[in-house]
């Protein structure tokens, strides 16, 4: 669907414009009992789930980091994590409509935060991570393609990676380390759990985007204590 047509929220079935009172996140879905007021078609449960997940993630990020200049960037990327996960799980793609404008938007917001914080060293880390991480992912994917005949990492993940990497690079280089291991461990944990549950085929169908999102969320929400532990372990 176009982001401009229809100009406002509308029912996906009858295309009737959704009234303001029926467009309150979560609450309207409950009041309408999950059905369109005009045609009675069921409104998928994913809508309130996505709304609740976004609200919870926004609250968590704001609580952990407080009112800092980097907060708007974190919230934008947190929103993208919810959206990308929902779309990738259903359609196995991360759309260009999201990834293409997201990276330059995050770059601008990171530079604004660096200027307001006078933290240009963090901006350099963010820029370096935004370039190096997707490049490494692309090279890894191409190496896998040469060996196995198919890409190892989807291009949607690679296009999305700059935004994820820039925000974590701005927080600290160790947040990137936490993101890497959190992504790997979460993918391994889910795979093992599904294998134990004898859902091996389902495990192979889960795209990598949700794991990138989960790793990013863990790095942003729990990165402080984890990076402190790494500093103590490494003596830095």
d(CA 191, CA 201): 10
Asked if 125 contacts 169 with a C-beta cutoff of 8 angstroms, the reply is yes
* Calpha distance 82→88 (Å, rounded): 10
pLDDT in tens, 102-128: 999 999 999 999 999 999 999 999 999
Residue 7 is predicted with a pLDDT of 72
Tell me if the bond preceding 203 is cis, omega within 30° of 0.
no
Using pLDDT thresholds of 50, 70 and 90, give the confidence band for residue 216: very high
C-alpha dihedral, 81 to 87 to 88 to 92, nearest 10° = -160
Q: At what angle do helices 96-117 and 120-148 cross, to 10 degrees?
A: 150
Summarised one tens digit per residue, pLDDT across range 30-49 is: 999 999 999 999 998 999 99
Residue 1 pLDDT > 70: no
Confidence of residue 144 (pLDDT cuts 50, 70, 90): confident
- Report the pLDDT value the prediction gives residue 121, as an integer from 0 to 100: 96
**pLDDT at 15 > cutoff 80:** yes
| CA–CA dist 54, 75 (Å, integer) | 9
Residues 6+ apart with CB under 8 A from 145: 151, 152
pLDDT at 201 over 80: no
pLDDT averaged over the chain?
Answer: 90
Report the predicted TM-score, pTM, of the whole model to 2 decimal places.
0.89
CA 167 to CA 36: how far, in whole Å? 38
């Amino acid at each position: 669907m176009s982001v401009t047509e229809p100009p406002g929220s509308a029912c996906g079935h009858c295309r009737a414009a959704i009234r303001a009172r029926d467009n309150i996140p979560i609450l309207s879905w409950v009041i309408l009992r999950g059905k369109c007021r005009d045609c009675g078609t069921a409104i998928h449960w994913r809508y309130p789930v996505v709304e609740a997940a976004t609200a919870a993630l926004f609250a968590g990020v704001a609580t952990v980091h407080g009112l800092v200049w980097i907060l708007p960037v974190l919230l934008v990327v947190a929103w993208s994590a919810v959206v990308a996960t929902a779309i990738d799980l259903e359609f196995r793609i991360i759309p260009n409509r999201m990834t293409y404008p997201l990276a330059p938007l995050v770059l601008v917001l990171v530079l604004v935060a660096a200027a307001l914080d006078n933290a240009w060293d963090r901006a350099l880390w963010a820029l370096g991570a935004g370039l190096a991480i997707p490049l490494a992912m692309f090279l890894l994917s191409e190496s896998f393609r040469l060996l196995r005949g198919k890409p190892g990492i989807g291009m949607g993940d690679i296009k999305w990676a700059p935004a994820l990497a820039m925000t974590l690079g701005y927080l600290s280089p160790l947040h990137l380390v936490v993101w890497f291991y959190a992504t790997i461990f979460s993918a391994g944990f889910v795979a093992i759990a599904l294998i134990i549950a004898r859902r091996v085929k389902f495990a192979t169908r889960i795209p990598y985007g949700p794991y990138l999102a989960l790793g990013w969320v863990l790095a942003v929400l729990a990165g402080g204590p984890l990076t402190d532990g790494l500093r103590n372990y490494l003596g830095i």
